[in-house]
């Protein structure tokens, strides 16, 4: 037999050995290889090497599954053991566990709320199956030096796009109806009457494009004929109760002679969308209401145009041809500068802030900031975990030493540590869920959303949470596990010192990090509060408080116009009322976009866009505006059309001597003179610069009656107005708003952000202080004897206090030095979002620094004072 052959019959194959090694522990591996090899040799000697190989592999194949199953079984037993030990550790170290569970639980709850919030923000339009192919056509118009970016486009645009672009499968227009009183008169019983502001005029193609789910009627023809309406189930229930609504009629106030016939009912739209739709009115109704063929209007930005691209088509192909299309579209007006682009419908909610949006949209910036802040707070809690674990590892050094001496391997100790971390994380998750039940109502109140605990109970949510917990366990447990188990047994048993100055340095660094984040958030919150205060209190150039705006429509607006304002005059005489005026739109909303054309201008397409407001003679006085030139509108029987312009209108139009200039507006043909100039004032939110404004004397276009009331008499005057209106027009649904509330609604998004941010800043500081408290307690415990000796030698309580808290406070001060400049830069950037904003006063720096230092000092000082006041006899006897 050759030596090679000999070797081949002596040893089991190397691959087999490797497989055994993989599935067995050290000693069992030794035993198994021995047994396998003994059998192998015997068989090789008796029956030859070939047989022996066959026998070996057969035996291995039968054994391996059993080995693996067995090792899983024993791992499970070990895990149970580890968990039991971990539970004992948690019980023994009550403070440590409490601080960790509280910190992690609070920040986990916070993160979960934000995750669901973000998921909601990102899920807009997702419930429409074709949403990835639906785009909105946006229009950019250039007027002289002004640009307008519209969310809407002209009614004629949709059908022409559909014809001109083969990429477009269908186009559908949507026109907001605006708040209207809708009435249903049943065959018996009182009429049902509600104000609806979620109604739209829609093209026939709309239901198919958005896959509306018809319960009654069909998608095919329900929106073809004028005066037909399709509604959601809950809308139908509101007016018709349990009756079948098909064929029944609804009456729209202002168009009483044109009742709407119900042609279909669709399921309620539950998914989030920037379009809040309760009912759709057929598009031809639009022209019937307008009294002319408004649907072929080529410039009026009245309709949202949605296009459905064919599968596989890119918006870029569309946009490449859009220039040529627009040239052809405006062939009759070659000087008109306009371009169109496509917005993916899914990006509208977070990325679009154009003129004439269907509602207030969200902002991607806040989504990012909130997620970031929530993650940072969680990180602060993880840092607590690491810091507390390494800081008190000296307590466990002996335990680890003993375990090592009696034969624990490092892997086992690491597993034990991770088991502890895992158990703490799991307990904090339980706390987080408990906290969520409190946090969710708070969140809902703040954001107007309807989040429920159920949102977390999905399979994906559970899996995600589990994954997060495992990640947290490793993040928080891995470093302490490696750190504490790294020491040699001899050293571990001997010493009672905290091992490793590297860990102490890391700990200090992490504390600085925690406070950098906290101070940053506090600074941000204070700045936001300042800006919001500014929003509310800034001098707008008119007085927004104590003004009631009564909605005028139907009967009431006719009565208001009739009798040369007799009703108005009567209201003005009521005690407590100091001014009454008519206006077409309310402050704080976007006014109409039009041009003012001086008589004799050759091409009005070069003129800038101005804001128009149609008012009566009482407006300037009631709003409290200042006339700088000329005069206001005048009452009296011979009221003539006239304009009053603002100073910035005079500037942008280049009028040197505006008074007496005859002008035309876009909607009225008759010319009228400019009779006065008023000082600029903030009629829109402070987000954007003051725009040029034109007031046109036109009480017939009034949409609201403004009533200025003496301070404190708003409720009383409201009662009077309600009574008066029901006297004049008994059938009328009285609706009103307060001008300052309408105006401040523009700051809702900032209000919500501020409310959330305040909570974040508070939580960050709280969790950071939890960690600091733990660290100071452990530091004091470790230095108990040192303090005793110092005191015995005559140190005062104050100096001991300073000694104990000094290290930590130095860290917090360093954090201030890092955080304040960063926060300053970030918040200065944020403030530039607003055309009008406050500065960042020195007080903000002082306040955020002081807040952080104060909280840190209180946290650390409590423990320091306690140790400093201890009788040295007790601490020195302590062994």
Partner 1 sequence: MNMLSRSEEIVLLAVWKLRDNAYGVPVRDQVSKDTRQEWSFGAVYKPLKQLLHKGFVEKTASEPFAERGGRSKYMYTLTPAGRTALREVRKIHRALWTEECEAAFK
User: Contact residues for partner 1 (CB under 8 A)?
Assistant: 10-11, 27-28, 30-39, 41, 59, 62-67, 70, 74
> Minimum distance from CB of 409 to partner 1 (Å)?
19
Q: Residue 188 phi/psi, 5° resolution?
A: -140, 160
Best CA proximity match to 5, nearest among 48, 58, 51, 56: 48
Q: Which is nearer to partner 1, 57 or 255 (CB)?
A: 57
- Minimum distance from residue 55 beta carbon to partner 1 (Å): 10
Cβ 65 to partner 1 shortest distance, Å: 7
Nearer to partner 1, 10 or 799 (CB): 10
Nearest CA-CA partner of 122 in 366, 394, 353, 302: 366
Nearest-approach distance from CB 31 to partner 1, in angstroms? 4
Cα 110 to Cα 436: distance, rounded to the nearest angstrom: 8
Distance, CA of 397 to CA of 402 (rounded, Å): 9
Work out whether strand 304-309 and strand 214-216 pair parallel, antiparallel, or are unpaired: unpaired
Selection from 376, 470, 467, 374 nearest residue 116 by Cα: 374
- Secondary structure (DSSP) of 801-816: HHHHHHHHHHHHHHHH
**80/828 with CB nearer partner 1:** 80
Using CA atoms, how far apart are residues 308 and 130, in angstroms rounded to an integer? 8
Considering the complex, state which of residue 54 and residue 700 has its C-beta at the smaller distance from partner 1.
54
Q: Which is nearer to partner 1, 73 or 292 (CB)?
A: 73
Determine which helix (DSSP H) or strand (DSSP E) holds 560, and give its type and residue range.
helix 554-561
- Give CA–CA dist 139/148, Å, rounded: 8
User: CA distances (Å), 103 to each of 109, 205, 378, in order?
Assistant: 10, 54, 8
We find the least distance from the C-beta atom of residue 52 to partner 1, in angstroms, to be 13
Kindly state the smallest distance separating residue 69's Cβ from partner 1, in Å: 8
- Count the alpha carbons within 13 Å of 562 in the hemisphere toward its beta carbon: 7
| Shortest distance (Å) from residue 381 CB to partner 1 | 40
Least distance between partner 1 and beta carbon 28 (Å):
7
Measured from the CB of residue 56, what is the shortest distance to partner 1 in angstroms? Answer: 11
Cα distance between residue 251 and residue 231, in whole Å = 14
With tokens 């396998």, the residue in question is 36
Identity of the residue, 23 or 649, whose beta carbon is nearer to partner 1 in the bound complex? 23
Q: Could you tell me the smallest distance in angstroms from the CB atom of residue 120 to partner 1?
A: 53
Q: Which is nearer to partner 1, 59 or 164 (CB)?
A: 59
Tell me how far, at minimum, the Cβ of 41 lies from partner 1, in Å. 6
Nearer to partner 1, 54 or 359 (CB): 54
Cβ–Cβ under 8 Å, residues 586 and 702: no
Instruction: Please give the full DSSP string across 710-777, using - where no structure is assigned.
Output: -TT-HHHHHHHHHHHHHHH-TT----EEEHHHHHHGGGHHHHHHHHHHHHHHHHHHHHHHHHHHHHHH
Nearer to partner 1, 81 or 147 (CB): 81
Q: Smallest distance from the beta carbon of 34 to partner 1, in angstroms?
A: 4
Nearer to partner 1, 19 or 493 (CB): 19
Task: Give the other-Cβ count within 10 Å of 162's Cβ.
Answer: 18
Burial of 268 (0-12, 13-18, 19+ CB in 10 A): middle
- Residue 33 or 478 having the CB closest to partner 1: 33
Nearer to partner 1, 32 or 389 (CB): 32
Of 58 and 471, nearer to partner 1 (C-beta) is: 58
Nearest distance in Å: CB 16, partner 1: 12
The Cα 550–Cα 682 span in angstroms is 21
Nearest Cα neighbor of 163 from 329, 9, 40 is 329
> Residue 454, by phi and psi: left (phi above 0), alpha (psi -120 to 50) or beta?
alpha
The residues, ordered by sequence, that sit 6+ positions from 491 with a Cβ below 8 Å of its Cβ are 499
For residue 412, give both structure tokens: 């086992």
Burial class (CB in 10 A: 0-12, 13-18, 19+), 84: exposed
Q: How far is the CB of 73 from partner 1 (least distance, A)?
A: 9
Give least dist CB 37 to partner 1, A.
5
243: left (phi over 0), alpha (psi -120 to 50) or beta: beta
CB of residue 91 to partner 1, shortest distance in Å = 27
CB of 29 to partner 1, least distance (A): 10
Closer to partner 1 at the Cβ: 10 or 458?
Answer: 10
Paired sense of beta strands 577-583 and 704-709, if any: antiparallel
User: Between residues 25 and 254, which has the closer beta carbon with respect to partner 1?
Assistant: 25
Question: Whole-angstrom Cα distance, residue 183 to residue 484?
Answer: 75
What's the token pair of residue 123? 């899920």
How distant, in Å, are the alpha carbons of 338, 389, 399, 496 from that of 491?
Answer: 80, 19, 12, 9
Kindly give, in sequence order, each residue whose CB lies less than 8 Å from that of residue 132, ignoring residues fewer than 6 positions away. 344, 346
Smallest distance, partner 1 to C-beta of residue 372, A: 51
Find the DSSP H helices in 93-156.
Answer: 94-122
Residue with smaller CB distance to partner 1, 52 or 175: 52
CB-based contact 724:571 (threshold 8 Å): yes
* Cβ atoms of residues 163 and 307 within 8 Å: no
Break the chain down into helix, strand, coil percent, rounded to 5: 55, 15, 30
- Nearer of residues 34 and 271 to partner 1, judged by Cβ: 34
Q: Are strands 228-232 and 260-266 parallel, antiparallel or unpaired?
A: parallel
Q: Is 782 exposed, middle or buried (0-12, 13-18, 19+ CB in 10 A)?
A: middle
Q: Please choose, from the candidates 162, 142, 160, the residue with its C-alpha nearest in 3D space to the C-alpha of residue 326.
A: 160
Closer by beta carbon to partner 1, 62 or else 829: 62
């Amino acid at each position: 037999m050759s030596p090679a052959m000999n070797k081949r019959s002596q040893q089991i194959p190397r691959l087999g050995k490797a497989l055994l090694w993989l599935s067995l522990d050290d000693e069992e591996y030794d035993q198994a290889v021995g047994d396998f090899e003994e059998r192998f040799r015997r068989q090789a000697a008796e029956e030859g090497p070939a047989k022996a190989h066959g026998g070996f592999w057969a035996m291995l194949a039968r054994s391996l599954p059993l080995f693996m199953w067995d090792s899983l079984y024993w791992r499970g037993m070990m895990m149970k053991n580890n968990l039991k030990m971990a539970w004992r550790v948690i019980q023994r170290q009550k403070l440590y566990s409490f601080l960790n569970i509280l910190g992690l639980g609070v920040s986990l709850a916070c993160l979960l709320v934000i995750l669901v919030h973000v998921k909601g923000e990102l899920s807009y339009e997702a419930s429409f199956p074709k949403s990835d192919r639906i785009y909105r056509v946006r229009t950019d118009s250039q007027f002289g030096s002004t640009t307008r970016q519209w969310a809407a486009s002209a009614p004629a645009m949709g059908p022409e796009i559909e014809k001109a672009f083969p990429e477009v499968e269908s186009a559908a227009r949507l026109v907001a109806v605006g708040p209207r009183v809708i009435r249903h008169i049943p065959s018996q019983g009182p009429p049902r009457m509600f104000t609806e502001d979620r109604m739209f005029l829609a093209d026939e193609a709309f239901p198919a494009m958005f896959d509306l789910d018809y319960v009654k009627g069909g998608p095919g023809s329900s929106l073809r004929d004028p005066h037909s309406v399709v509604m959601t189930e809950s809308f139908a229930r509101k007016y018709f109760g349990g009756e079948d609504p098909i064929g029944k009629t609804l009456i729209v106030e202002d168009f009483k002679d044109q009742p709407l016939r119900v042609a279909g009912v669709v399921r309620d739209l539950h998914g989030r969308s920037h379009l809040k739709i309760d009912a759709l009115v057929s598009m031809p109704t639009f022209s019937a209401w307008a009294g002319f063929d408004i649907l072929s209007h080529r410039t009026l930005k009245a309709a949202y145009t949605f296009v459905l691209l064919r599968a596989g088509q890119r918006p870029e192909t569309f946009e490449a041809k859009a220039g040529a299309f627009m040239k052809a579209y405006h062939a009759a007006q070659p000087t008109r500068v306009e371009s169109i682009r496509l917005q993916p419908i899914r990006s509208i909610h977070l990325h679009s802030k154009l003129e004439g949006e269907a509602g207030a949209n969200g902002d991607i910036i806040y989504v990012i900031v909130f997620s970031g802040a929530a993650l940072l707070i969680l990180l602060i809690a993880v840092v607590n975990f690491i810091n507390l674990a390494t800081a008190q590892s000296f307590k466990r050094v002996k335990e680890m030493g003993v375990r090592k001496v009696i034969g624990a391997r490092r892997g086992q100790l690491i597993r034990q540590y991770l088991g502890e971390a895992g158990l703490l994380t799991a307990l904090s998750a339980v706390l987080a869920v408990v906290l969520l039940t409190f946090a969710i109502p708070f969140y809902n109140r703040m954001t107007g959303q309807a989040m429920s605990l159920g949102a977390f109970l999905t399979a994906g949510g559970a899996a995600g949470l589990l994954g997060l917990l495992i990640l947290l366990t490793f993040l928080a447990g891995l470093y302490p596990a490696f750190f504490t188990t790294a020491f040699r047994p001899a050293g571990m048993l001997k010493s009672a010192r905290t091992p490793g100055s590297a860990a102490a340095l890391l700990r200090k660094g992490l504390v600085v990090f925690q406070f950098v984040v906290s101070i940053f958030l506090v600074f941000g919150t204070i700045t936001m509060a300042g800006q919001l205060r500014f929003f509310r209190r800034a001098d707008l150039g008119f007085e927004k408080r104590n003004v009631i705006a009564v909605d005028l429509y139907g009967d009431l607006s006719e009565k208001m116009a009739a009798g040369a304002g007799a009703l108005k005059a009567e209201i003005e005489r009521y005690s407590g009322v100091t001014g009454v005026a008519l206006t077409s739109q309310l402050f704080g909303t976007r006014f109409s976009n039009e041009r003012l054309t001086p008589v004799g201008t050759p091409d009005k397409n070069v003129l800038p866009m101005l804001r128009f407001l149609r008012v009566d003679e009482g407006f300037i006085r009631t709003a409290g505006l200042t006339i700088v030139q000329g005069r206001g509108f005048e009452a009296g029987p011979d009221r003539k059309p006239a304009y009053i312009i603002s100073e910035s209108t005079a500037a942008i139009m280049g009028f040197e001597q505006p008074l007496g200039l005859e002008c035309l507006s876009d909607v009225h043909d008759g010319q009228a003179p400019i009779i006065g100039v008023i000082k600029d004032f903030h009629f829109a939110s402070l987000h954007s610069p003051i725009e040029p404004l034109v007031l046109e004397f036109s009480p017939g276009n009034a949409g609201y009656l403004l009533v200025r009331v003496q301070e404190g008499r708003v409720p009383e005057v409201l009662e009077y107005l309600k009574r008066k209106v029901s006297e004049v027009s008994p059938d009328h649904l009285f609706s009103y708003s307060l001008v300052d509330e309408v105006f401040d609604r523009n700051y809702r998004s900032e209000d919500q952000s501020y409310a959330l941010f305040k909570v974040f800043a508070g939580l960050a500081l709280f969790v950071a202080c939890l960690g600091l408290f733990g660290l100071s307690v452990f530091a004091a415990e470790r230095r108990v004897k040192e303090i005793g000796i110092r005191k015995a030698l005559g140190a005062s309580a104050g100096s001991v206090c300073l000694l104990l808290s000094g290290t930590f406070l130095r860290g917090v001060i360093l954090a201030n030095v890092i955080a304040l400049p960063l926060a300053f830069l970030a918040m200065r950037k944020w403030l530039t979002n607003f055309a009008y904003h406050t500065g960042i006063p020195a007080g903000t720096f002082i306040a955020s620094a002081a807040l952080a230092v104060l909280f840190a000092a209180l946290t650390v000082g409590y423990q320091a004072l306690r140790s400093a006041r201890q009788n040295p006899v007790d601490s020195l006897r302590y062994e």
